[in-house]
Chains A and B, each alone.
Chain A
Amino acid sequence: MSAIELARSIRAGERSAREVVDGYLATIAEREPSIHAFNVVTAEQARVAADAVDARVAAGDDPGPLAGVPIALKDNLCTQGIPTTCSSKILEGWRPPYDATVVTKLAAAGAVSVGKTNLDEFAMGSSTENSAFGPTRNPHDLERVPGGSSGGSAAAVAAGFAPLSLGSDTGGSIRQPASLCGVVGVKPTYGLVSRYGLVAFASSLDQIGPFATNVADAALLLEVIAGHDPLDSTSIPGPVPSYSQVLSDGVDGLRVGIITELMGEGIAPDVRRRVEEAAEHLAQNGATVGEASVPAAMFGLSAYYLIAPAEASSNLARYDGVRYGLRVDGATTAEMMENTRTEGFGIEVKRRIMLGTYALSAGYYEAFYGKAQKVRTLIVRDFAAAYEKFDVLLSPTAPTTAFRFGEKAEDPLSMYLSDVCTIPTNLAGQPAMSVPFGVGDDGMPVGVQVLAPALGEVPMFRAAAVLEAGAPS
């Protein structure tokens, strides 16, 4: 059942929020041991929250648009009093004294959080294999990865642990796992959703966004969490349009461009075919489809692996054992910090901290970080040129369907290539979403990526709704 239908029926008193959450908790109890989508399931708090929703309904109040809808939260979103680990040993035992803005908004909308989901440590990865607490498995095939870094959130929705979840997307961490798990995943325009309370990986790229089983639920969830937040200086002022209302508008006259640079080498033929079919489907529904070129997108991956680690090296400096989380003692303060970080961080996090530290170092800044920022400017410019001709762009979300555990874990570069299609939008600060569109030759889900210019969520959702309706079964 969709989140929208659940909320409607709970608000109408046709079923209780308690009964709904108990149903989902039962599914979790049954399948979670084989999937490991969660770092923690907050069953008790969920029941209390559901009861509160029921009490409000009984009192004649409106608990909000997500009344009683269970939701899973990526474990890098701060939740007051509930451990927030980022799937890292270094945050062991830390319970935030505050809620992230999105968590506050969800509660105000009546949503019921069922737990915190697994991720690649500090959101660094594309398979959730980098979690300090073990990997999450793809519900469609337990031998395969769910993607990452929001693998737990994608798997939770795919496994029916919750109809909705939240993830964060720095270089594709919502869209790629959505694609691999066969669910809808949205990376909104940078600044549309407050980052306050999202544990930072790369501040200029991070953005919180929804997972859902369908486009309409994703649109509703985005409406709930979007909007200006005075606590986030990069948050965009102004009203949030209704995305739900445009879903039936169709794509008649919409100009759709397929990004040629993301349809060539490195993209699996079965995935490429699905994107072509998606374009044809849009054309059949009245869209004009053409070929779009975003040449600088090819340099996105290289620029990203300088900018994101550089910001991460600074953002993750605070985990030093002094104030919270893990502390491993040493003879001096410096030694204590070194021991704590050596033991507390995993290999991929260390690799990126070193990359980023190097990229910002005196004498290398211009050659690396400075140049990457110039590439970023070029990508923005190329996208701007493409969006003069097209309203939305189309590409694969990920180059392949879900891969097997260990397949790329030993080869960071091939792992990094998983995000080649998703990274350019983060660098440009633009929205994009992954919509399930059939399966690949291996029977695993394929996602098609719909991209739009900044604050172009409305045409993006229009195209997504039409794609969803035409997705091969």
Chain B
Amino acid sequence: MTDTAVPYLTAKHGIVGLDEWELVVGLEVHCELATNTKMFCSCANHFGDEPNTNICPVCLGLPGSLPVVNAEAVEFAIRIGRALNCDVHSSVFARKNYFYPDMPKDYQVSQYDQPISADGWLDLADGSRVGITRAHMEEDTGKNTHAGAGGRIHGADYSLIDYNRAGVPLVEIVSEPDIRSPEQARIYVAELRTILLAIEASDAKMEEGSMRVDANVSMRRLGEDVFGTRCEVKNLNSIRSLGRAIEYEARRQVDLITSGERIVQQTRHWDEEAGRTRDGRSKEEAEDYRYFQEPDLMPIEPGQAWIDRVDAAMPKLPAARRQAMAAVAGVEPTRTAVVVAVDRQLDELGIAAIAAGGDPSRVLTHIEHNLAVEGAGALSPIHVAELTQMEVKGELTATQAKTVLAEMLTTGIAPAAIAAAKGFETMDTGALEAMVDEVIAGHPAEWADFVAIVAAGDDKKAKKLTGFFTGKIMQTSKGQADGKAVNALLAAKLNAGG
């Protein structure tokens, strides 16, 4: 839930103080597939079990063991490819060779020059489009825990390895370097996460590591067409750290360039506590992965029928849902309320409520501000429509509507019945005016101040006193007064008094 709670800022929003520069970001997102079993064996794919309980000769890479491809993993990989508008074609596995203790075979079975999906795109909530270079299948590694030395490998007393994760199926989604701001990177990841959940391919939890993001960051002066040298930032554990890390890295690189130094292409690690990136591998350890086709596996040829079946079963994805919601409400799909509606899975409710005669603007307002709660999707769209109709007719104030809505959520009762039970009726103007006069009479000193301040044109103090009087009147009316009407009456009285 915290992962999606990002501000929906525009992609054009750059970095303060770096107006002369253009940020260029490409993201590599690893997501663990929500299969029952691992990529190449029948061990359970389950997070959080006792270490080294979901293991067998295959995922331990024991001598003589051989991999067999999990068809469910291929299904999910195809879903991801199609959801990202990629071409899905026949593909081969390749070995990526490097030594690391958490990797049982000291090579990772991945895909290299023939990935299962390539050449797609992702349309974001801010209206921008990010190209998808490829989305390929591979196996996850085990997990190291270093004892002592603050959990770092250097200086650790000993290290423990849990191979439960070794062989868990992954899809790595590589974007084009189309991202131009930290905010755009964040909404890209949020969008991707929503899609992965919608197609049930991954549970996409950054905090559990089932979704991991690496950012390739480079900077160039505005107007330049060649890319700068990039650095790959790893260890990003949340969407928030992604944004922070990109901004830090952007500033670091600009500082280096402007002080006449060169950017060295390297892997850097985000240090969340220190709020900075750190040098990762040194140059002499630069890896040559010696990719070659995995001889233990046959090429994967999904065939058009399988792809067609995936397409037919594809749920409506966020971009299309935003379009539909926006069209019904008569607003732009980039409107925050529309984005929030889709993000909270309340777009269907919104569309149905509007179709049932609800006021589009009020429906969207409720979704954006009053329905960030569990179970909101279960509301009757007809009741929501009725609620907004009552507001339009002046039968409920905005405050009363909010109270009624809260009650609708817990009881499922129609809004008219709730309003009646609570005695909500909009006060007639005469009664309200009498109440306003009563409050003014009860606070003569404050009123005199108010009149003087308004006359002097001190907006700040005027606002404060408006709040004071509105509050008192609302209190007296027990919330039944319409805020707008109160403001109008106060303004009229001020004019008369002044």
Contact = CB atoms under 8 A, between A and B. Distances in A.
B64 A320 contact: no
Contacts of B297: 233-234
Given A98-B57, A204-B295, A196 B97 contact: no
Interface stretch (A281-289, A357-365, A404-412, A455-463): A357-365
A362 B57 CA distance: 31
Interface string A331-343: 0011001000000
A369 interface: yes
B302 interface: no
B68 A230 contact: yes
A320 B298 contact: no
A78 to B, nearest CB: 4
A318 B68 contact: no
Interface string B169-186: 000000000000000000
A337 B99 contact: yes
A96 B63 contact: yes
Given A317-B97, A323-B104, A233 B290 contact: no
B64 A199 contact: yes
Nearest to B298: A233
A439 interface: no
B63 A234 contact: no
Interface in B30-83: 57, 60-69
A318 B64 contact: no
B292 interface: yes
B248 interface: no
A84 B63 CA distance: 9
Contacts of A197: 64-65
Given A317-B107, A320-B106, A233 B97 contact: no
B69 A233 contact: yes
A333 B152 CA distance: 13
Given A196-B65, A232-B66, A318 B105 contact: yes
Interface in A87-126: 91, 94, 96-98, 100
B288 interface: yes
B290 A97 contact: no
Contacts of B62: 78, 96-98, 324
A314 B296 contact: no
A333 B153 contact: yes
A421 interface: no
B280 interface: no
Interface string B287-308: 0101110011110000000000
Contacts of A322: 101, 161
Nearest to A358: B290
A231 B290 contact: no
B63 A333 contact: no
Interface in A69-92: 76-78, 84, 86, 91
A310 interface: yes
A232 B296 CA distance: 8
A203 B296 contact: yes
A318 B106 contact: yes
Nearest to B287: A362
B105 A233 contact: no
B290 A100 contact: no
B99 A198 contact: no
A127 to B, nearest CB: 23
Interface in B268-299: 288, 290-292, 295-298
B159 interface: yes
Q: Which of A98, A197, A233 has the most B CB atoms < 10 Å from its CB?
A: A233
A195 interface: yes
A94 B61 CA distance: 14
A314 B99 CA distance: 10
A318 B292 contact: no
Contacts of B105: 317-318
Contacts of B296: 200, 203, 233-234
Interface residues of B, number: 30
A333 B159 contact: yes
Q: Which of A195, A317, A320 has the most B CB atoms < 10 Å from its CB?
A: A317
B97 A314 contact: yes
A54 interface: no
Contacts of B290: 313-314, 357, 360-362, 365
Nearest to B97: A314
A225 to B, nearest CB: 15
Contacts of B57: 96-98
A373 to B, nearest CB: 9
Contact of B60 (A196, A198, A323): A323
A217 interface: no
B51 to A, nearest CB: 14
A200 B69 CA distance: 19
Contacts of B106: 317-318, 320
B383 interface: no
Interface in A194-226: 195-200, 202-204
A97 B291 CA distance: 30
B295 A317 contact: no
B95 interface: yes
Interface in B118-159: 153, 159
Nearest to B161: A322
B61 A318 contact: yes
Contact of A198 (B64, B97, B295): B64
Q: Which of B60, B159, B292 has the most A CB atoms < 10 Å from its CB?
A: B292
A357 B298 CA distance: 23
Nearest to B68: A233
A91 B63 contact: yes
B287 to A, nearest CB: 10
Contacts of B97: 313-314, 317, 360
Contacts of B63: 78, 84, 86, 91, 94, 96, 199-200, 318
Contacts of B60: 323
Contacts of A419: none
Given A317-B99, A317-B107, A233 B292 contact: no
A96 B64 contact: yes
A362 B99 CA distance: 17
Q: Which of B57, B61, B104 has the most A CB atoms < 10 Å from its CB?
A: B57
B22 to A, nearest CB: 31
Contacts of A313: 97, 290
Interface in B284-337: 288, 290-292, 295-298
Contact of A314 (B68, B95, B161): B95
Instruction: Report, nearest first, the 3 A-B pairs whose CB atoms are least far apart.
Output: A317-B106, A360-B290, A204-B295
Interface of A: 76-78, 84, 86, 91, 94, 96-98, 100, 195-200, 202-204, 230-234, 310-311, 313-314, 317-318, 320, 322-324, 333-334, 337, 357, 360-362, 365, 369
Interface of B: 57, 60-69, 95, 97, 99, 101, 104-107, 153, 159, 161, 288, 290-292, 295-298
Given A314-B107, A318-B106, 18 more contacts: A91-B63, A96-B62, A96-B64, A97-B57, A98-B57, A197-B64, A204-B295, A230-B68, A232-B68, A234-B296, A234-B298, A313-B97, A313-B290, A317-B99, A317-B105, A323-B60, A323-B104, A334-B99
23 contacts: A76-B64, A77-B64, A78-B62, A84-B63, A96-B63, A96-B64, A97-B57, A98-B57, A98-B64, A98-B65, A196-B66, A197-B65, A202-B295, A234-B295, A311-B292, A311-B295, A313-B97, A314-B290, A318-B106, A320-B99, A323-B60, A324-B62, A365-B290
